[in-house]
Amino acid sequence: GQQVMQIPQYQHVQEGEDFTTYCNSSTTLSNIQWYKQRPGGHPVFLIQLVKSGEVKKQKRLTFQFGEAKKNSSLHITATQTTDVGTYFCAGPVSGGSNYKLTFGKGTLLTVNP
């Protein structure tokens, strides 16, 4: 079945360092969504990318969607302790008008102040 893989599984950085997480799909995605889950919290929607090669920015966060629409990345510039959490990518299950999302396993980011 369709898989969405994320790397790395864990990333520990010093505050102020940059961070990147990568998402790869086994199939072409019509779009990709990113979510953030704080420790003990619930996933919160960050952004959706739809177009091939799309790049979107939210303050220190930069999201990219690959040209082939099979991979995506999230880059955080100059991390802060508030960035701590698990970042998930999610893509729609291929086929029809199915509203199912397949979530990656996530990248857990910890930031040392």
The residues binding other proteins (CB under 8 A) are 30-31, 33, 41-45, 48, 50, 88, 92, 98-106
Query: Could you tell me if 40 and 86 are in contact, meaning their C-beta atoms sit under 8 angstroms apart?
Result: no
Helix (H, G, I), strand (E, B) or coil at 66: coil
Least Cβ distance, residue 18 to other proteins (angstroms): 25
Q: Which is nearer to other proteins, 34 or 79 (CB)?
A: 34
CA dist., res. 71 & res. 29, Å (int): 9
CB of 16 to other proteins, least distance (A): 29
What is the smallest separation between the CB atom of 99 and other proteins, expressed in angstroms?
A: 6
CA nearest neighbour of 33 among 93, 84, 83, 76: 93
Beta carbon nearer to other proteins, 79 or 91: 91
